[in-house]
Structure 1
Amino acid sequence: MTQSPKYIFQSKTQLFLFIAILLMAANLRTPITSVGPLLHSIQEALGLPTSLAGAITSIPLMAFALFAPTAPKLAKTHGIEKVLTSALAVLLFGLLVRPAGEIGLLFIGTLFVGLAISCGNVLLPALIKRDFSNRIGLMTGLYAVVMNSFAALGSGLAIPLAETSLGWRGSLGFWALLALTSLLFWLPVWRGQRNVIKKQVIPKQRSSRMLTSSLAWQVTIFMGLQSGLYYTLITWLPDMLMLKGIGEAEAGVLVSLQQFVLIPFTFLIPLIAARYKSQSFMLVVSAFLFLGGLASLYWGSGPWLFVAVICFGSGGGSAFSLSMMLFTLRTRTSEEAADLSGMAQSIGYLLASTGPMLAGVLHERTGSWMVPWICLVGATLALLVSGALAGRNRFVSPP
């Protein structure tokens, strides 16, 4: 028998917050994935050189890295609900500005989009830790599924929308509707919490001192390496596949398959991981899946390339969802979860933003994918070690 919602949510307020969290998650990747398919049209319309076109996708990653440490500080001062509601307003502004004019507005809007998403990346795990502490696995899995499903949707709908009367500008701006809907949902959440926050006596929080915690660094390294592997493969996997004799269209289908394979793993893995005190085994398995994909990609052909894509999707989905869970499982309070999330995502996305660029430079210098492939293998081995350490049943601060 299906469990009644009244047993899943303690109140209507918590149910409303649950829906709001999923709406926020839907906005965290779609504004980025909807850009890639439109880059050629944007370049032609605005006379944008290739070097600057690539910056449209790298600017949000840099914003994630630079603003992530600030989000927990804002949350401690103003409350998580207010910061997330404000972030949606900023996101809506960025999505409207980005397609509204020439190159300057394009980059200004993109910067605002990155800053807004950074708040959601950091604070959603802390909010789940605070208000859904007994269902961390379920909530992490659901918000990861929604985020990645809408990411795939954003990429898949970009061209069909652009081929209508909307054009590429309308296709980019289309996702402002999602941001507006989410903002309207979050305004009551903020108002409902505002009075509670005012009446609380906020105790002095002991500094979590993340920078001096070896466990925090292990979580950070795992977060950065899995993000770097994901964004590097998303950027260059089509080129690698085409060198294996795969056509451009077929390569695109395989990359899309990787995205869809990722989705069920982002839901199922947190549910399984939440049952255990240690997640080291699962983190190591995710690294081995990456290694299997890299081996199949380099030495294989034909059906083995399909195997490679399946490995990348399952490994990427597992590693991402587990890295999100570590922010809550390795901390004692929502404040610590926000601090660890801020540190790991700041340094992690800074590392991730260099991956695609470094792989491209190495390929250009050597004329081969051998050296980038070796670097990816090395990063995966480091992912394995950091995952084994980060997954142990420990906390970033003493009791």
Structure 2
Amino acid sequence: MSTPSVADDPFYGRPFVSAMAVMALLLAAANLRGGLVVVGPLVEQIRAGLNISAGAFSLLTTLPLICFGIISLCVPALSRRWAPQTLAIGGLLLISLGVMLRLVDSFVVVLLGTLFLGAAIALLNVLIPGLVKAFFPRRVGLMTGLYSVTLSMGAGLGVYLAVPLLERFGHWHYPVALWALLPVICALFWLPMLRVKGVGRPAHPVKVSLWRDKMAWAITFYMGLQSFYFYSMATWLPKILLESGLDANEAGTATALINLVSIPFNFLVPIMAARLASQHRLVLGVFLASFLGVAGLWWQPAAAPLLWASLIGVGCGGSLSLALSFFVLRATNTAQATALSAMAQSIGYLLAAAGPAVLGLMRDWEGAWQTALILMLALQLLQLGCGWFAARPVKVVPDQDK
């Protein structure tokens, strides 16, 4: 595995600019989930304020995932027309606009804002792995880890601050409005990045297609299956535990562990992945944690709910970070990393959008969770196979080079 030289580092010998780039990337990551998840703890207040049903409210959480799947495919074309730093600033401002529209007391306008928010987040989701490779070619593991941790912490902050801000100011607009202000502040840190040489729009941009590459498909399905797993568990774990006899506090504590336990693995897995030629041991370790956590839920959920939730958290944190690492490690350049990220996240989030619905339908059909959890175990085996293939030290090959 070749090691990038100092000549590939756009910030070599410029520590202040490098620190600004780190701040810009991490602040962008912090804004990628807060504006979405903040509505979860405010569901009753938002439903009452907009006078909508529970089914209508669910559109506020499912539409962004669909946007992720559709808009991700457009990002490589956009990056051939504009510099990625310019697109990042545009994405942050669009997040702010989308959140502001979700403050309007009209459900139609709120849905429009949700579409803008989902599109902007999809744009940044795809761009950032390529920017990590372009900005920090010699520290991709560290930066991917920091990005992944900040992504999770931003989501946690959105949930954690929602109710205190609601109680302090008395209206759900205030905790939501916070996530319209932060992206604008973050965009200011991106302005100096427009002057970074060697990371702008290529002089002769070439379309990169990876749809015929086996490695790209393995990474795509690994990303998709881990997204299906995470969103399904995050949605249904509380109900699984409640139906097993736990009270609401116990179920809530166990569910919170998923995000809490995942944070150190968000950070450590990319660093270890970047130091290894082959990531097979990481793929296997992540699989064992995920499989054992779901197997525990299937066997006897009330026996050790904190243990099962912790194992699921290890699997969720490790698999997401590993998928993000594959985008960078299996690409030769920024254009390939962006194309791979777009392909994997497009299909991945469309699968994620289907996950909670599929498990919910299986639960309603059977009247219990056993068959749904067996499906999750089977999908974990499939994810292991995809990850095992993706862990080989082989770069993706664009279709035009085959």
Shorter-chain TM-score range: over 0.9
**Aligned AA for 1:385?**
G
Counterpart of 2:48?
44
Counterpart of 1:222?
222
Counterpart of 1:109?
113
Counterpart of 1:276?
276
1:195-225 deviation digits (Å, cap 9, x = unpaired): 8778x872453x5431000110000000000
Worse-matched range after superposition: 299-308 or 380-389: 299-308
Counterpart of 1:59?
63
Instruction: Tell whether the 8 Å contact from 1:258 to 1:313 is kept in structure 2 after alignment.
Output: yes
Q: Which runs of 5+ in 2 are unaligned?
A: 1-10
CA–CA separation in structure 2 for the residues paired with 1:70 and 1:296? 40
**Aligned AA for 2:140?**
I
CA–CA separation in structure 1 for the residues paired with 2:343 and 2:329? 15
CA–CA separation in structure 2 for the residues paired with 1:364 and 1:324? 34
Question: If the length of structure 2 is used for normalisation, what is the TM-score?
Answer: 0.93
**Does the C-alpha gap of structure 1 residues 104 and 385 become closer, same or farther in structure 2, counting only changes over 3 Å?**
same
Counterpart of 2:193?
189
CA–CA separation in structure 1 for the residues paired with 2:360 and 2:49? 25
Provide the aligned C-alpha RMSD in A. Answer: 1.8
**Does the C-alpha gap of structure 1 residues 60 and 201 become closer, same or farther in structure 2, counting only changes over 3 Å?**
closer
Worse-matched range after superposition: 55-64 or 177-186: 177-186
Worse-matched range after superposition: 168-177 or 215-224: 168-177
Instruction: Tell whether the 8 Å contact from 1:279 to 1:391 is kept in structure 2 after alignment.
Output: yes
Counterpart of 2:253?
253
Q: Which runs of 5+ in 1 are unaligned?
A: 1-7
Counterpart of 2:352?
352
> What is the deviation of 1:302?
4.4
**Does the C-alpha gap of structure 1 residues 283 and 104 become closer, same or farther in structure 2, counting only changes over 3 Å?**
same
**Does the C-alpha gap of structure 1 residues 379 and 162 become closer, same or farther in structure 2, counting only changes over 3 Å?**
same
Instruction: Tell whether the 8 Å contact from 1:218 to 1:390 is kept in structure 2 after alignment.
Output: yes
Instruction: Tell whether the 8 Å contact from 1:132 to 1:139 is kept in structure 2 after alignment.
Output: yes
Does 2:44 correspond to 1:26?
no
Counterpart of 2:244?
244
Counterpart of 1:165?
169
**Local SS of the residue matching 1:274:** helix
**Does the C-alpha gap of structure 1 residues 241 and 189 become closer, same or farther in structure 2, counting only changes over 3 Å?**
same
Instruction: Tell whether the 8 Å contact from 2:28 to 2:186 is kept in structure 1 after alignment.
Output: yes
1:87-110 deviation digits (Å, cap 9, x = unpaired): 111111111110222211211111
Instruction: Tell whether the 8 Å contact from 1:31 to 1:175 is kept in structure 2 after alignment.
Output: yes
Counterpart of 2:362?
362
Instruction: Tell whether the 8 Å contact from 1:208 to 1:396 is kept in structure 2 after alignment.
Output: no
> What is the deviation of 1:284?
2.3
Counterpart of 2:203?
202
CA–CA separation in structure 2 for the residues paired with 1:228 and 1:301? 20
1:43-99 deviation digits (Å, cap 9, x = unpaired): 122221121111111111111100001112111211100001001111111111102
How many residue pairs get aligned? The number is 388
> What is the deviation of 1:312?
0.7
1:273-321 deviation digits (Å, cap 9, x = unpaired): 1111111221122122111001111223445211101101111110000
Worse-matched range after superposition: 168-177 or 286-295: 168-177
**Does the C-alpha gap of structure 1 residues 134 and 197 become closer, same or farther in structure 2, counting only changes over 3 Å?**
closer
Does 2:90 correspond to 1:86?
yes
Q: Which stretches of structure 1, 4 residues or longer, exceed 4 Å deviation after superposition?
A: 195-198
